[in-house]
Amino acid sequence: MIFLRFFLLFSLFSLAFSHEHLNSHHLGRPLIIEYSENVETQYKEFEEELRLQCTSWRFAVEANNLSPWKTIPQECADYVKDYMMGRAYIVDLERVSKEAGNYAKSVELSGDGKDIWVFDIDETLLSNLPYYAEHGYGLEVFGHVKFDKWVEKAMAPAIEPSLKLYEEVLGLGFKVILLTGRSERHRNFTIENLINAGFRDWHQLILRASDDHGKLATIYKSEKRSEMAKDGNRIIGNSGDQWSDLLGSQMSIRSFKLPNPMYYIP
Amino acid sequence: MIFLRFFLLFSLFSLAFSHEHLNSHHLGRPLIIEYSENVETQYKEFEEELRLQCTSWRFAVEANNLSPWKTIPQECADYVKDYMMGRAYIVDLERVSKEAGNYAKSVELSGDGKDIWVFDIDETLLSNLPYYAEHGYGLEVFGHVKFDKWVEKAMAPAIEPSLKLYEEVLGLGFKVILLTGRSERHRNFTIENLINAGFRDWHQLILRASDDHGKLATIYKSEKRSEMAKDGNRIIGNSGDQWSDLLGSQMSIRSFKLPNPMYYIP
């Protein structure tokens, strides 16, 4: 490595020097090398600016500042891929799991079995990353038919930090309700997948019935939370990767937004 | 530059070579150079990890995943400073202003003068960055007395992208209501500051009255929004840097969360 660098520098050095002789009116500065350094600098600046813009976009997603969007920005395709496949996504998942766990432990439960923790499923308990890796990490427009085929494989792995939180809240005595935008006709695949991924002992699994289709997720999930509250339940915690899992009526005392820069569900 | 690099490398090269002669049992590899490269690599890895952790913390702030916090994490002091003083903060402010502006333009106003846009003041319309720059960008515990003195100077500059949005929504025919956690006794200083910074023509400026002190910001601001709604107003948009500006009852149709990693108001 050091040899290579040495010879490379030496060659560039000689080249610059010979060049200088040919262009003596150029103030004796090694222009070729300066040019190549400029290109490198410009490329780095371009990369830095792109990272800044895509980080800013991701912040806007996570802070719920964006209008409904169908696909990730084309120029952020590599950024989103790197985020999802690298340590940053895991670090973010671990942080939200830990924060939620600390909160869960801090709550004094009534002991009447009416303290509820609501979990969304996709990108909250189960990861569809193997699917999205095949479909541009959100760069492709969402395809129901293809995604349904993936759901029916029941192969989505657990999001490990969420499984940890799940077991923690169960252990603390919360009643767990799973509230998903998946269709009722996927109930058995979903149960199979959840069990294979290590989830167990939920109190209720709520999927979209036929008259829920066509409702915005925020409306559908708010309605379901209202039903929970009517039964005298207290929604103490709610974990979801979409703001439509968390906002609306009968909001949880505290909500936890898991990261998801790949898609948006209104 | 090129000369310096050349001679430095050459010196290291010679040193490594001479070292190799003294340690011939060491497989002939230039250990000193490898060591110095390791230190550099380790330092870069450490810096990269710190950046990752602090970015993750900032996400948790912006996604409202954290419990009330009093100061920024010690290890993120430089990160927060760099963010606030660099381009990233400006890019984020511009994005949220642009998104809010696009939304404002998309709304069909009733024309009865009851379409409201609510703005928070501190870190939303006015920037206290000159104050926080003197107080560790959130590393110091918030000091009411010191901050009050700053408020009474009425010198906080406008957040330019917010001023742009402010003028846009005024121009579209929204009624602007300013809803701030500042105390009623700072009304005149606040008006002076707002006008000096370029803000004008607000419909109402709501500050904390004596019986609002001690209320959580979420409660106080929800109560004030409820009063607006009772008057038949429709809260179409709400801009704030704190989740306590945006959440609670009578939430706006759409809310816009401005970035603020320096402090948290529950």
Are B92 and A64 inside 8 Å of each other by CB?
A: no
Reply yes or no on whether the pLDDT at B113 is more than 70: yes
CA–CA separation, A128 and B266 (whole Å): 35
Helix (H, G, I), strand (E, B) or coil at A59: helix
Provide the pLDDT for residue B32: 54
* End-to-end Cα spacing for chain A: 52
Across the range A17-35, mean pLDDT stands at: 45
* Closest Cβ–Cβ partner in B16, B53, B64 for A257: B64
Provide the pLDDT for residue B58: 98
Provide the pLDDT for residue A37: 76
Amino acid at A28: G
Q: Which two tokens stand for residue B181?
A: 């956690």
Reply yes or no on whether the pLDDT at A6 is more than 70: no
pLDDT digits (tens, 9 = 90+) for B2-29: 434 434 433 433 333 333 333 434 444 5
Q: Which helix (H) or strand (E) holds A22?
A: helix A2-22
CA–CA separation, B73 and A205 (whole Å): 39
pLDDT digits (tens, 9 = 90+) for A154-181: 999 999 999 999 999 999 999 999 999 9
CB–CB of A177/A202 below 8 Å? yes
Query: Nearest CA of chain A to the CA of B258: how many Å?
Result: 9
- CB-based burial of residue B149 (10 Å sphere; 0-12 exposed, 13-18 middle, 19+ buried)? exposed
CA–CA separation, A213 and A182 (whole Å): 10
Are B91 and A6 inside 8 Å of each other by CB?
A: no
- CB-based burial of residue B185 (10 Å sphere; 0-12 exposed, 13-18 middle, 19+ buried)? middle
pTM attached to this predicted model: 0.86
pLDDT digits (tens, 9 = 90+) for A30-89: 455 556 678 999 999 999 999 999 999 999 999 999 999 999 999 999 999 999 999 999
CA–CA separation, B266 and B259 (whole Å): 16
DSSP assignment of B48-64: HHHHHHHHHHHHHHHTT
Q: Which two tokens stand for residue B250?
A: 């009578």
Domains of chain B, with CATH numbers? 2-59 (no CATH), 74-257 (3.40.50.1000)
* Closest Cβ–Cβ partner in B6, B30, B60 for A95: B60
CA–CA separation, B16 and B28 (whole Å): 10
ipTM of the prediction: 0.85
Are A67 and B259 inside 8 Å of each other by CB?
A: no
Which of B49, B62, B257 would you mutate first to test chain A, the one with the most A CBs within 10 A? B62
CB–CB of B174/B109 below 8 Å? yes
Gyration radius from chain B CA atoms: 26
Provide the pLDDT for residue B28: 47
Provide the pLDDT for residue B37: 75
Provide the pLDDT for residue B221: 98
Query: Nearest CA of chain A to the CA of B129: how many Å?
Result: 20
Which of B41, B50, B51, B65 would you mutate first to test chain A, the one with the most A CBs within 10 A? B65
B255 touches chain A (CB under 8 A): yes
Query: Nearest CA of chain B to the CA of A96: how many Å?
Result: 7
Closest chain A residue by Cα to residue B88: A52
* Closest Cβ–Cβ partner in B5, B52, B255 for A9: B5
Q: Which two tokens stand for residue B247?
A: 């959440």
Reply yes or no on whether the pLDDT at A8 is more than 70: no
| Of B146, B57, B126, B38, residue with least CA distance to A96 | B57
Provide the pLDDT for residue A34: 58
Reply yes or no on whether the pLDDT at B34 is more than 80: no
Across the range B230-259, mean pLDDT stands at: 97
Reply yes or no on whether the pLDDT at A237 is more than 60: yes
CB–CB of B174/B204 below 8 Å? no
A8 against B138, higher pLDDT: B138
DSSP assignment of B71-124: S--GGGHHHHHHHHHSHHHHHHHHHHHHHHHHHHHHS---SSS-EEEEE--BTT
Query: Nearest CA of chain A to the CA of B138: how many Å?
Result: 20
pLDDT digits (tens, 9 = 90+) for A108-136: 999 899 999 999 999 999 999 999 999 99
Reply yes or no on whether the pLDDT at B56 is more than 50: yes
